[in-house]
């Protein structure tokens, strides 16, 4: 053996053997950042951080797609076929743990391997259910054309349950890593940061080609997602359309309050309102016969049954005492936490003044990111 190769070998020994390829490590830490952002913005950010939340969630989805393919195209230890998933192996591992034994062979132990499978699939479902909720409830995002309001509500429930389960899985994962490193001294942290470990008899990965393959795959996944989003976002919107308010409606119905969007009541509801204008919530709001006809035909042609937005389905089509939007079960449920003083403030004035907090109330969309409770509403009315 020449001196040269011996030096090289000694050098490799000092650096350790590569057990986590670079793409896996970049994936892992990007996932940590994206999932942390998504969980925090989802739980703490409310509606204001929705776009940060959605961006983080879409990043998670992209990372999950990358990882699913990397299960088959990645390095030796990254491949699903090398995971010790068999129940017998899990049993043996757990029995070993109870006896104070755990072995590090460069790959994942059975509990860790199952945890990866659970988290990757759970995060995939979590981000998909989020996009379904966004599509159904907000009529936005790539799944907009495929999910109804009811489907969006169901997806929202699934989304929240999965988020709690993922948080529990993360806690379990951290506990597992803590135990492996602290109690058994396994170099898991070094493996996921530097990629290399010092462990006798452990097989190493071939680094270079995997880096190139990972970079190409990441670019392909990003391009495919961008293309899919463009294609899906371009589908026609069947649930909302812009409407031009009839002149008679603006003239007669936008003085005392803003012009309510026609999708907030059904044609029958509007007919009842129009029939009782002489005693309209304590006011005389009578209109000429011609205007009455024009207004009703505009309202009926664009009523709650002709829109499938959250507001049209859950407020417009819902029964309400005196046809009051604020008497629908959905409205009360979603606004119950808002203090009475805010509605009574000068900036808002009344519960029925939707426009004070919903910047898109006139369009009938009522999107979550357009909710903005005036900051001056917290000041007392002088
Ligand atoms: C003279 C003033 C006035 C005019 C004109 C008027 N309204 Fe009203 N409207 C009211 C008042 C007052 C309320 C009750 C608001 C409240 O209690 O906060 C109300 C409430 C409503 C509500 C129920 C909102 C809710 O949930 O509380 C609808 C729907 C409505 N008006 C439709 C119309 C239509 C359609 C027209 C035109 C034909 C019209 N209004 C014209 C004064 C008026
Ligand atoms: C004082 C401010 C305020 C007023 C006035 C108000 N809202 Fe809201 N609305 C909110 C807030 C805040 C939320 C978000 C509640 C939550 O956290 O889920 C909301 C949620 C909603 C939602 C669900 C939006 C979504 O995508 O989740 C709809 C629909 C809605 N409001 C309709 C109305 C209508 C119709 C009116 C008028 C009759 C109205 N709101 C009046 C503040 C207001």
pLDDT tens figures, 203-231: 998 778 899 999 999 999 999 999 999 99
Predicted confidence band of residue 2 (pLDDT cuts 50, 70, 90): very low
pLDDT at 6 > cutoff 90:
no
Q: Residue range 48-57: average pLDDT?
A: 93
pLDDT at 260 > cutoff 50:
yes
Q: Residue range 348-372: average pLDDT?
A: 96
> Residue 46: left (phi > 0), alpha (psi -120 to 50), or beta?
left
- Which structure tokens are listed for 83? 């995971």
Of the candidates 241, 272, 264, 238, the one whose C-alpha atom is nearest the C-alpha of residue 318 is: 264
Q: Residue range 145-173: average pLDDT?
A: 97
Q: Which residues pair with 283 in a beta bridge?
A: 280
* Predicted pLDDT at 284: 97
Q: In this structure, which ligand is nearest to the CA of 364?
A: 2
Residue closest by Cα to atom 42 of ligand 2: 357
Query: Ligand 1 pocket test: which of 281, 286, 358 has the largest number of ligand atoms within 8 Å of its C-beta?
Result: 281
- Which structure tokens are listed for 106? 């460069």
pLDDT at 285 > cutoff 80:
yes
Residue closest by Cα to atom 41 of ligand 1: 253
**pLDDT tens digits, residue range 136-157?**
999 999 999 999 999 999 999 9
Distances (CA, A) of 31 to 21, 24, 102, 129: 16, 10, 27, 18
Percent of the chain with pLDDT over 90: 88
**pLDDT tens digits, residue range 58-86?**
999 999 999 999 999 999 999 999 999 99
Domain locations in the chain as residue ranges:
13-233, 247-378
Predicted confidence band of residue 1 (pLDDT cuts 50, 70, 90): very low
User: Dihedral of CA 104/106/109/115: which sign?
Assistant: positive
Please tell me whether residue 273 adopts helix, strand or coil conformation.
helix
* Predicted pLDDT at 46: 72
CB 338 within 8 A of CB 353: no
pLDDT at 254 > cutoff 90:
yes
CB 287 within 8 A of CB 252: yes
**How far is it, in rounded angstroms, from Cα 2 to Cα 165?**
57
Q: Give domain 13-233's CATH superfamily.
A: Transmembrane di-heme cytochromes, Chain C (1.20.950.20)
Cβ of residue 356 lying under 6 Å from some atom of ligand 2: yes
Q: Which residue has the tokens 């670019």?
A: 219
Cβ of residue 348 lying under 6 Å from some atom of ligand 2: yes
**How far is it, in rounded angstroms, from Cα 284 to Cα 83?**
75
Predicted confidence band of residue 382 (pLDDT cuts 50, 70, 90): very low
Per the document, the length of the chain is: 382
Q: Which residues pair with 18 in a beta bridge?
A: 196
What is the distance in A from the centroid of ligand 2 to the CA of 282?
25
What average pLDDT does the chain have? 93
- Which structure tokens are listed for 134? 């966004």
pLDDT at 10 > cutoff 90:
no
**How far is it, in rounded angstroms, from Cα 251 to Cα 282?**
20
- Which structure tokens are listed for 71? 């299960």
**How far is it, in rounded angstroms, from Cα 256 to Cα 265?**
18
Return contacts of 214-220, CB within 8 angstroms, 24+ apart.
214/21, 214/22, 214/23, 214/26, 214/70, 214/74, 215/23, 217/23, 217/66, 217/69, 217/70, 217/73, 218/23, 218/66
Residue closest by Cα to atom 35 of ligand 2: 354
What is the distance in A from the centroid of ligand 2 to the CA of 293?
30
Please tell me whether residue 204 adopts helix, strand or coil conformation.
coil
* Predicted pLDDT at 47: 75
pLDDT at 380 > cutoff 60:
no
Q: Residue range 2-12: average pLDDT?
A: 52
What is the distance in A from the centroid of ligand 1 to the CA of 253?
7
Number of neighbouring beta carbons within 10 Å of residue 332:
11
**pLDDT tens digits, residue range 104-119?**
999 999 999 999 999 9
What is the distance in A from the centroid of ligand 2 to the CA of 299?
22
Q: Residue range 120-136: average pLDDT?
A: 98
Q: Which residues line ligand 1 (CB under 6 A)?
A: 252-253, 255-257, 260, 273, 277, 280-281, 283, 285, 287, 295, 323-326, 350, 352
**Ligand 2, atom nearest to 310 Cα:** 29
Of the candidates 196, 192, 38, 68, the one whose C-alpha atom is nearest the C-alpha of residue 130 is: 38
What is the distance in A from the centroid of ligand 2 to the CA of 145?
23
Of the candidates 55, 190, 67, the one whose C-alpha atom is nearest the C-alpha of residue 117 is: 67
* Predicted pLDDT at 208: 81
- Establish how many alpha carbons lie within 13 A of residue 104's alpha carbon, considering only the half-sphere containing its beta carbon: 19
**How far is it, in rounded angstroms, from Cα 21 to Cα 192?**
9
Percent of the chain with pLDDT over 70: 95
Using a cut of 0.85, tell me whether the model's pTM lies above it: yes
**How far is it, in rounded angstroms, from Cα 245 to Cα 243?**
6
Q: In this structure, which ligand is nearest to the CA of 48?
A: 2
Q: Residue range 257-277: average pLDDT?
A: 98
Predicted confidence band of residue 379 (pLDDT cuts 50, 70, 90): low
pLDDT at 98 > cutoff 50:
yes
CB 23 within 8 A of CB 195: no
What is the distance in A from the centroid of ligand 1 to the CA of 238?
29
């Amino acid at each position: 053996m020449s001196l040269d190769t011996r030096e090289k070998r000694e050098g490799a020994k000092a650096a350790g053997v590569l057990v986590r390829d670079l793409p896996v490590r970049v994936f892992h830490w990007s996932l940590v950042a994206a999932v942390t952002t998504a969980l925090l913005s989802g739980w703490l950010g409310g509606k204001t951080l929705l776009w940060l939340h959605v961006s983080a969630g879409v990043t998670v989805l992209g990372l999950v797609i990358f990882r699913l393919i990397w299960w088959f195209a990645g390095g030796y230890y990254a491949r699903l076929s090398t995971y010790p998933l068999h129940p017998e192996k899990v049993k043996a591992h757990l029995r070993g743990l109870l006896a104070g034994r755990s072995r590090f062979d460069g790959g994942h132990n059975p509990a860790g391997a199952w945890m990866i499978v659970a988290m990757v699939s759970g995060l995939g479902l979590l981000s998909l259910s989020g996009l379904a909720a966004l599509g159904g409830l907000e009529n936005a995002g790539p799944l907009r054309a495929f999910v109804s309001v009811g489907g969006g509500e169901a997806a929202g429930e699934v989304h929240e349950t999965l988020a709690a389960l993922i948080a529990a899985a993360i806690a379990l994962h951290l506990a597992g890593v803590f135990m492996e490193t602290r109690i058994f001294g396994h170099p898991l942290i070094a493996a996921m940061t530097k990629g290399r470990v010092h462990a006798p008899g452990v097989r190493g990965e071939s680094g270079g080609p995997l880096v190139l393959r990972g970079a190409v795959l990441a670019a392909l996944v990003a391009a495919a997602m961008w293309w899919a989003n463009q294609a899906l976002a371009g589908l026609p919107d069947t649930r909302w359309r812009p409407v031009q308010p009839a002149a008679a409606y603006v003239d007669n119905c936008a003085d005392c309050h803003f012009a309510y969007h026609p999708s907030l009541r059904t044609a029958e509801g509007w007919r009842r309102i129009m029939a009782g204008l002489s005693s309209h919530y304590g006011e005389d709001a009578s209109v000429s016969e011609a205007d009455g006809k024009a207004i009703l035909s505009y309202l009926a042609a664009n009523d709650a049954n002709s829109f499938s937005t959250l507001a049209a389905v859950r407020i417009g089509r819902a029964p309400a005492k005196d046809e009051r939007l604020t008497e629908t079960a959905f409205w009360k449920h979603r606004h119950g936490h808002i203090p009475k003083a805010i509605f009574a403030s000068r900036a808002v004035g009344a519960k029925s003044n939707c426009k004070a907090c919903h910047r898109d109330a006139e369009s009938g969309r009522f999107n979550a990111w357009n909710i903005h409770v005036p900051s001056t509403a917290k000041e007392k009315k002088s």
